[in-house]
Structure 1
Amino acid sequence: MTQPLTAGTTEALARTPRIALVGVHGFGERHLENLARLGAKGSLELVAVADPLPPAEGTLGAEGTLGPEVKVFASLDELLASGIAPDVVIVSTPIQTHAPLALAALTAGANVYLEKPPVASMAQYEEVMAAAARAGRLVQVGFQSLGSEALPAIEALVASGEIGDVRGISATGLWLRSKAYFTRSRWAGKRSLNGTDVVDGVATNALAHAVATGLRLAGARTVADVESVDTDLYRANDTESDDTSVVRVKTTAGSTGGTVLTCALTLCAPVQSAPSVTVYGTLGQLTFFYTEDRLEISSAEGTRTETFGRTDLLENLLAARTEEDLLSPLSGSGAYVSVLEAIRTAKAPQQILPEFITWEGEGDAAHPVVHGIEALIRRAALGQATFAELGAPWTGSNGPALNGPAFSVDGVPVAALQDGSQVRPTSSPRPYLHPVRTLAGTVVTDHVPEDHVWHLGAGVALQDVDGINFWGGRTYTRDAGAYLWREDHGRIITESAEYGDGHRREQLSWLGPDGTPLLGEQREWRWAGVGNSAWKLTLDFRLESATGRPVLLGSPGSNGRPQGGYGGFFWRLPKVGDATIWTPDARGEDAVHGSVAPWLAWSGTFDAGTSAPGHVTGDPGLGHPATLVFLASPQAPDPWFVRHSGYPGVGLSLAWDTPVTTGPGRPVHRTVTVIVADGFLATQDIEQLISTLGEPA
């Protein structure tokens, strides 16, 4: 909405603008420095300040004073009642006071510079917006990063197509704050104070600029531009507010339309680094370090860095004639307030247990470090996932948030079924198992790993089903001879399931991007114990055309990529130390990859965690020995697909170098069994286990 200036304001522009500052401590000191700078240029006149803790005489501003002509009051009400009529009131006070002070300033006829966050609730936002409209005044919000000249440059780069189509946006922040930060004032670290909303927190205050900048680049300004907000809030400090959180926003509008912005933020990092916002494209990416006005552009031509200037938001407000002239208008903060409102109304942040935190420093300078937070922030940003969905151990879920049944052997949970509904579209959402554990609790699967965020535990995935990608990530095409980001990702949904003791039968549909069924799948999971230290998992699946015609099942290998025949059954492992990979006739990644053998074994020390917090406490971090034995499908001699040097993964290739066809009444059928054992097994142990199962060795 364009807000015109009234005649009184227009007249004021003909003389030096008169400024009043409310709140001279904390960030108010930065405003004093800026006011001194602009006053020295003759751009404005600071006429008054208000603060319930008035500064001592002669102590205001840079070099000790701004002169005796600056009047000092204990409150904005006293300031306005004195007859001083400021043209602009700067509000740099505790969050819960922003709205009432802005309302008072607007009623008095002043324009307002409102520090972030502008308000503490959506109701306050609507009230201040209405007051500004009635008064015909302007409200600028202090998101200084929105004054960066990098923002229009980024928008131009996206529009030029240099990074291709936008796939998503992330905002990441790894900061650290000490105990003193949360004891600096009564409202710090509070969600409310004496029944009044405060909504302090990592996304609403400390790293609010990351959220606001990400929303601006996602084209989200108004409340209507936000379709949904997911919050995942935690705290390591003894506070009410969150200090380690993921906020995921899906937008409805803007040049990128329907973009997902994932904000992964913490105040509990081991070291502080420059926060950033990244725009991911199909041909490259843009990373904006907004505190430095520095932009990294990565594309097919390489990586280059550009640094930009910044327009001061107070100068921008003084020069503005209408709301459209403002770089950070209150009307453009509606999307941000939608995020704040979602955080305000979310359940209280969950406490991170002490065993997942290391305190560094002494006394008021001490600060918490959440274990593994740097990698989790990166994974959350790349995978558009929350900490709970990633299975961060301190979320209390001992794995990703369960949305399916758990598999147990003799009362011991050994696997959890995920329906994949929270997986981002470009990772080809699908059901999968994760975490899968040994009987002693060692986790032997991974999902949404930083290197390939579309790798999802243990399950079935194919990169080419009649040209549709059900694997996730980029697609390898014969024409390009390379991997390309394309809008070709399908999804697999569960139509029905029967669950019993030691087995689960499912009917699945493989749907194209437009929702058209391509395949129907009958899938069965079976699990049972094998002695005291091992259990077996069997996956049986049948893929059948749902189109009424033959459907080709392919892979990068069948599309021309040498040694790239992955697809079908796939098991993504976590980090494994001292890994040994072998079959009855070969040893090592290079020798085993592409071979046909009745079984493949993988042993090593797995250090992705254990099942119980008690195991984590005092864990020396040396890893836990385990062995996985994969038994080949009896239906076909599919080659083994093995990766270790780049990432740890094992699969049986359904279409190694030639596509497989399924037609109506002619399903493609495979059965894979995996023995999950604690400790290191030798070949003799493996063959004895297989013999016990009644399988051919």
Structure 2
Amino acid sequence: MTQQLATTTAEGPTRLPRVALVGVHGFGERHLENLDRLSAAGALELVAVADPNPPAKDTLEPGVDVYASLDELLAAGVAPDVVIISTPIQTHAPLAIAALNAGANVYLEKPPVASMVQYREVMAAAASAGRLVQVGFQSLGSDALPAIEALVGAGAIGEVRGISATGLWLRTKAYFKRSRWAGKRSLNGTDVVDGVATNALAHAVATGLWLAGARTVADVESVDTDLYRANDTQSDDTSVVRVRTTRGTVLTCALTLCAPEQSAPSVTVYGTEGQLTLFYTEDRLEITTPGGVRTETFGRKDLLENLLAARNPKDLLSPLGGVGAYVSVLEAIRTADSPRAIHPDFITWDGDGDAAHPVVHGIESLIRRAALGHATFAELGAPWTAAGGPALEIDGAPVATVQDGTRIRPTSSPRPYLHPVRTLAGTVVTDHIPEDHVWHLGAGVAIQDVDGVNFWGGRTYTRDAGAYVWRKDHGRIVTGSAEHSNGQRREQLGWIGPDGTRLLREQREWRWAAVGNSTWKLTLDFTLESATGHPVFLGSPGSNGRPQGGYGGFFWRLPKVSDATIWTPDARGEDAVHGSVAPWLAWSGTFDAGTSGAAHVTGDPGLGHPATLVFLASPQAPDPWFVRHSGYPGVGLSLAWDAPVPTEPGNPVHRTVTVLITDGFLATQDIEQLITTLGESA
């Protein structure tokens, strides 16, 4: 049982809560300001402070005792009702335990502890003493949180699909020199676990977990970490942390201290019919529903006032027992490998001396992609991350990388694909997990309707709705076996529905070879056969009633291309070639995604790189070309343009597609001559 802090009689209160502050510098100065406010309002009495570096003269009101440590303060018999701990991270746990053992309630700054072991020790001390511990996640006092909970409960955004937290901050060299522990994972063998997710933008993680319904350690099923640093520190400053709760909700936190400029961090709840974005430092909520977009701003409850009024842990807005999920994230970061240094070629330093701060190239887009696609930086293929899967090589140089797709979010229909695909000079000519359609995945095979199962990703177009809708109909394509050799890769794949039913068997073969000094060719050969014992129908939005929407089958997602030209032997331009049947389709332009490796980037002025892709149609069937340019850059061959195509046991659907990948621009005559020279036919 927790005792009431201010005793009362029939005549009114007899004593104000006595508060002591440990740590008066740094964030402790904020606490002093708040204590002055509450003291002036008659809500508490600040009786003592403790800090080896005492506050400046005249900082404190007369009568406030000053001690060098909490031990001295307690030994002097001060007997505070509440102790606020605003000290270096590594000191939180021992100080909290000392204050609890002395009979005080505790306000413990974030992060509350530096390890899971310490968390359990402080929890046990609080239970033994019968005292309360409030953790200083101020955002959890926002009135926006119960408002979001009510909106979600009322179905304002449909069913929740996932949650993301994003933070684009910048910190200078001086930030990491402010104390001995700043930027440290450990100090003299003692855990510190400073970092972007555990300290600077810890509120993003804590708020996201709260909205995901994850409070306790038991609420967390798994934590994936992808940690990097641009600064010369031990700790991470640019990271993705992905949490799966036991409810199945996925929270992805994409955070950096290396942005070109600082912006308000946010947490977004994605629904099937809208989304809610909370800018938690401003208590501002952006509500997007089918009816439009509106913004509301909310108030915030002070956590110290909440602690003073609380009678038991259930009254607390940020109780120690309610941040176990956050400590699970901190523990995953603590036990992860040390953050990988980002190659200097991908960093620009802005400013001079201690005022300088690093900017990671392209970090704004990467943060958005990570959040939208629930992907890590490594899974996005950020050029400063480790390489992906097996490589397709020509003369020892990688020209494409095989991605198994197993880490792709479920609503993007996980599947194997190639990305990045490069020209011989290193220009990247594919994209994946782009901001506009995060379910677009490099070069491969995808179909939106396989007997009602979506193997394309994203929303599904249905004839009944006459529109795209979110449904729980996403399948996945898994690799059963693979044989990889020089110039050839053979894969046995299974197309599996959301209920675990195997709908299709696929045999896929990639072949690749050089064609001169500036061109190479990539051939995809695939067969799709029913695995159910009866016919399986392959469909598309087009076969389900959407005019000109017959995509599905082979698909190639391109990166941004400037001054693009798209043509066939008989037509030119997106509108003219889309839906046409032609032996080949060419796409040329300046690929602004540039090169993908540090070796290529050095000295690269970033002006873009000319390239041409020539897609040769399948010889097995006159499938129409599917082409997009104005909305996003993509090319496909449509298996089911306006009618479903059946595949039966013993009678598979078979297609072969060849792509010629060239540095520089090709004209029609060049293409025809190249095709003739290769002996290719459509």
User: Following the alignment from structure 2 to structure 1, what is the Cα–Cα distance between the partners of residues 596 and 429?
Assistant: 11
User: Following the alignment from structure 2 to structure 1, what is the Cα–Cα distance between the partners of residues 485 and 307?
Assistant: 66
- 2:50 aligned residue: 50
Within a 5 Å distance, the mapping from 1:261-410 to structure 2 comes to 261-395=251-385, 397=386, 401-403=387-389, 405-410=390-395
CA RMSD of aligned residues (A): 1.3
Q: Which moved more, 1:8-17 or 1:261-270?
A: 8-17
User: Following the alignment from structure 1 to structure 2, what is the Cα–Cα distance between the partners of residues 514 and 9?
Assistant: 58
User: Following the alignment from structure 1 to structure 2, what is the Cα–Cα distance between the partners of residues 655 and 415?
Assistant: 28
Per the TM alignment, residue 650 of structure 1 is displaced from its structure 2 partner at its CA by 0.3
Within a 5 Å distance, the mapping from 1:221-260 to structure 2 comes to 221-252=215-246, 257-260=247-250
Per the TM alignment, residue 7 of structure 1 is displaced from its structure 2 partner at its CA by 8.0
2:88 aligned to which of 81, 94, 98: 94
**Mapped pair 1:163 → 2:149:** no
- 2:117 aligned residue: 123
**Mapped pair 1:491 → 2:481:** no
The AA in structure 2 aligned to 1:71 is D
State the 4+ residue runs in structure 1 displaced beyond 2 angstroms: 6-15, 498-501
**Mapped pair 1:579 → 2:564:** yes
Per the TM alignment, residue 8 of structure 1 is displaced from its structure 2 partner at its CA by 8.5
CA contact (8 A) 1:9 1:87 kept: no
User: Following the alignment from structure 1 to structure 2, what is the Cα–Cα distance between the partners of residues 39 and 354?
Assistant: 50
User: Following the alignment from structure 2 to structure 1, what is the Cα–Cα distance between the partners of residues 484 and 227?
Assistant: 33
- Cα distance per residue 1:506-541 (max 9 Å; x no partner): 111100001110111111111111111111111111
CA contact (8 A) 1:167 1:282 kept: yes
CA contact (8 A) 2:5 2:81 kept: no
User: Following the alignment from structure 1 to structure 2, what is the Cα–Cα distance between the partners of residues 402 and 621?
Assistant: 24
Per the TM alignment, residue 609 of structure 1 is displaced from its structure 2 partner at its CA by 2.7
Report SS of the residue matched to 1:172: strand
User: Following the alignment from structure 1 to structure 2, what is the Cα–Cα distance between the partners of residues 169 and 48?
Assistant: 42
- 1:198 aligned residue: 192
Per the TM alignment, residue 9 of structure 1 is displaced from its structure 2 partner at its CA by 8.4
The alignment of Structure 1 onto Structure 2 pairs a total of residues equal to 679
Per the TM alignment, residue 359 of structure 1 is displaced from its structure 2 partner at its CA by 1.1
- 1:23 aligned residue: 23
User: Following the alignment from structure 1 to structure 2, what is the Cα–Cα distance between the partners of residues 507 and 14?
Assistant: 78
CA contact (8 A) 2:7 2:15 kept: no
- Cα distance per residue 1:576-606 (max 9 Å; x no partner): 1111110000011111100000000011111
CA contact (8 A) 2:6 2:14 kept: no
- Cα distance per residue 1:484-511 (max 9 Å; x no partner): 0110000000111222331111111100
Per the TM alignment, residue 612 of structure 1 is displaced from its structure 2 partner at its CA by 3.5
Cα 1:402–1:614 change in 2 (3 A) is closer
Report SS of the residue matched to 2:323: helix
User: Following the alignment from structure 1 to structure 2, what is the Cα–Cα distance between the partners of residues 436 and 371?
Assistant: 21
User: Following the alignment from structure 1 to structure 2, what is the Cα–Cα distance between the partners of residues 668 and 394?
Assistant: 40
Per the TM alignment, residue 261 of structure 1 is displaced from its structure 2 partner at its CA by 0.3
Report SS of the residue matched to 1:130: helix
User: Following the alignment from structure 1 to structure 2, what is the Cα–Cα distance between the partners of residues 298 and 501?
Assistant: 50
- 2:544 aligned residue: 559
Per the TM alignment, residue 614 of structure 1 is displaced from its structure 2 partner at its CA by 3.0
User: Following the alignment from structure 1 to structure 2, what is the Cα–Cα distance between the partners of residues 559 and 671?
Assistant: 25
- 2:496 aligned residue: 511
Cα 1:462–1:315 change in 2 (3 A) is same
User: Following the alignment from structure 2 to structure 1, what is the Cα–Cα distance between the partners of residues 160 and 657?
Assistant: 38
Report SS of the residue matched to 1:518: strand
Within a 5 Å distance, the mapping from 1:583-594 to structure 2 comes to 583-594=568-579
- 2:531 aligned residue: 546
- Cα distance per residue 1:349-407 (max 9 Å; x no partner): 11112211111112221111111110000000000001111111122x3xxx423x211
User: Following the alignment from structure 2 to structure 1, what is the Cα–Cα distance between the partners of residues 412 and 497?
Assistant: 13
The AA in structure 2 aligned to 1:351 is A
User: Following the alignment from structure 2 to structure 1, what is the Cα–Cα distance between the partners of residues 635 and 560?
Assistant: 13
CA contact (8 A) 1:19 1:48 kept: yes
User: Following the alignment from structure 1 to structure 2, what is the Cα–Cα distance between the partners of residues 8 and 90?
Assistant: 15
User: Following the alignment from structure 1 to structure 2, what is the Cα–Cα distance between the partners of residues 240 and 504?
Assistant: 41
- 2:401 aligned residue: 416
- 1:63 aligned residue: none
- Cα distance per residue 1:194-222 (max 9 Å; x no partner): 11111000000000000000000000000
Per the TM alignment, residue 661 of structure 1 is displaced from its structure 2 partner at its CA by 0.8
1:631 aligned to which of 597, 616, 619: 616
**Mapped pair 1:108 → 2:93:** no
User: Following the alignment from structure 1 to structure 2, what is the Cα–Cα distance between the partners of residues 119 and 471?
Assistant: 43
Gaps of 5+ in 2: none
- 2:553 aligned residue: 568
1:654 aligned to which of 639, 646, 663: 639
CA contact (8 A) 1:643 1:650 kept: yes
The AA in structure 1 aligned to 2:243 is V
**Mapped pair 1:136 → 2:133:** no
User: Following the alignment from structure 2 to structure 1, what is the Cα–Cα distance between the partners of residues 561 and 331?
Assistant: 42
Report SS of the residue matched to 1:394: coil
Per the TM alignment, residue 689 of structure 1 is displaced from its structure 2 partner at its CA by 1.0
- Cα distance per residue 1:71-101 (max 9 Å; x no partner): 0000000000001010000000010010010
CA contact (8 A) 2:525 2:656 kept: yes
Per the TM alignment, residue 658 of structure 1 is displaced from its structure 2 partner at its CA by 0.7
The AA in structure 2 aligned to 1:301 is G
User: Following the alignment from structure 2 to structure 1, what is the Cα–Cα distance between the partners of residues 202 and 584?
Assistant: 53
User: Following the alignment from structure 1 to structure 2, what is the Cα–Cα distance between the partners of residues 125 and 610?
Assistant: 45
Per the TM alignment, residue 22 of structure 1 is displaced from its structure 2 partner at its CA by 0.3
The AA in structure 1 aligned to 2:576 is A
Report SS of the residue matched to 2:92: helix
The AA in structure 2 aligned to 1:312 is D
- 1:5 aligned residue: 2
The AA in structure 1 aligned to 2:388 is L
Cα 1:662–1:104 change in 2 (3 A) is same
CA contact (8 A) 2:383 2:596 kept: no
| TM-score for the superposition, normalised by structure 1 | 0.96
Identity of aligned residues (%): 84
CA contact (8 A) 2:461 2:469 kept: yes
Cα 1:462–1:119 change in 2 (3 A) is same
- 1:641 aligned residue: 626
